[in-house]
Amino acid sequence: MIELIFLIILICSLVGMGLMLFQKMPLLLELPETSPPYFGWRTLFLKVKSSNPLKGFPSEVFLQKILSKVRILTLKTDNKTSNWLQKLRERSQKKKFSENDNYWKEIKKSTKR
């Protein structure tokens, strides 16, 4: 059932893209033919290297933010594991008390017979 829904969505998407392309075809044909500029990894690397977006960004502030978020995350996990451990200890304590209660009840029953 879900595969049929995905197939319908795929077909509708392809038809929609085809209609858009069909409507824009005359506009694309009117564009002048020009040779694209040379594009390669080297030119891309030089453009990125020449325009450094992190030039004025202090790295120490970024490091402080990351470390504080990591610290908060570790404190949250520590708190959660501490709660789990406390609950486990309470359960084991209750089990010990319930076993002791049954023990004495069984002894009383055996002595009455």
Average of pLDDT values for 54-79? 89
Can you list the alpha helix ranges (DSSP code H) found in 31-58?
A: 41-50
Rg over alpha carbons for the chain, rounded to the nearest Å, is 35
Strand spans (E) along 9-111? none
Average of pLDDT values for 15-42? 82
State how far the Cα of 64 lies from the Cα of 9, in Å rounded to an integer: 46
pLDDT of 67-96, one tens digit each?
999 999 999 999 999 999 999 999 988 887
Structure-block tokens of residue 6: 């995905």
pLDDT for the residue 82 = 96
